[in-house]
Structure 1
């Protein structure tokens, strides 16, 4: 075996090791990634945590290339398991877009992430337009808050971070007229934040429907 192989971790061996083939992926990644929805940030976060927890980051970050590991049965088994995880947590449409015979886990991981992070400039312009023109209109407070959070997550994915002050400003600015008075109570909150103000507005909505 090449000396290069000594640089990678093997989750099948060592104290407290866990056979990753026994892991139920849907318990750890409880979302299905779809090209038309906004689950990319959640999907990648769940996977990143799982990979770190099981010392598998080097399988997808390009640290060790699979061609170096030819003949290593443990490496091959781990690689196949990761690919299976990816394929069973994405939609059929995405599967058809990325599946290709002979790809290792690193290649599949890169393909999936590239689908959501390529053309960052165009995506940023489009998402920022959506974000800054987002208003409650006929939406419930829950749906309105979820829309703002989703757009801010998508902007974060392309390194256009939306801080809490901006998120809070957009929430209050986009409320419909029914909540105009409630929005003025923002100044009464100590250390106001989106996380504090959103539940307050949800409570106001329930009282209004009374």
Structure 2
């Protein structure tokens, strides 16, 4: 089982706080820590970025990717360089082939690779905003299950979050309700009776209602 990186002091590097052990970082199972493969064809960016952000905080690696330390200056530090190589390997291991070929450049530091990958999903904000809003407000259940429908909505909300647009619970609920198919007309009316409904509680309610309707059909 992976254990948190041991900390050391090293007067030759510029870390202000604890410095991670290159050996401990190298031996981490990154697929277990970041169980997501980043792909431009799906909505995996928010999860990928969130998992990596937790790893950076847990193992004192933030300075390697936030630009606060001059990577060129630190190249002479063996521990720093070893951790840089591990971080870059992690990034390449958890992205799709098309993203890899888009961002890979020889001699890039971890900060440069991290920023390039993130830029693929956060640049062109206006165009992405227009597209995602259209997708969000036109999202309907049609013949899909409640699980699939709600997941599509949540993934669109996550993509909007990636470009700095927060969708409140009230808007998520109204969009969810408006897009339900006609089989859920009664359930949609009953949603007003739920005390302080949230997206999560409404999803649970609708899934239970879906199960109930399925049982009724089976008895007919």
Q: Same fold (TM over 0.5)?
A: yes
Residue in structure 2 matched with residue 58 of structure 1 by the alignment: 63
Alignment partner of 1:5 is 2:5: no
Structure 1, gaps ≥5 residues long: none
1:173 aligns with 2:178: yes
Q: Which residue of 2 aligns with 1:141?
A: 146
Note the 1:14-163 alignment, pairs <5 A: 19-163=24-168
1:192-207 mapped onto 2 (5 Å cutoff): 192-207=197-212
Structure 2 residue ranges without an equivalent (≥5): 1-9, 216-220
TM-score by length of structure 1 reads 0.94
Cα 1:43–1:6 change in 2 (3 A) is: closer
CA contact (8 A) 2:13 2:77 kept: no
Q: How far apart, CA to CA, are the structure 2 residues paired with 1:5 and 1:166?
A: 46
Structure 1 distance, partners of 2:183, 2:30, is 44
Please state how far the C-alpha of 1:7 moved relative to its aligned partner.
3.6
RMSD: 1.7
Task: Report the secondary structure of 1:161's partner residue.
Answer: coil
> Which piece of structure 1 moves more, 181-190 or 120-129?
181-190
TM-superposed deviation, 1:203: 1.1
Shift of 1:6: 4.6
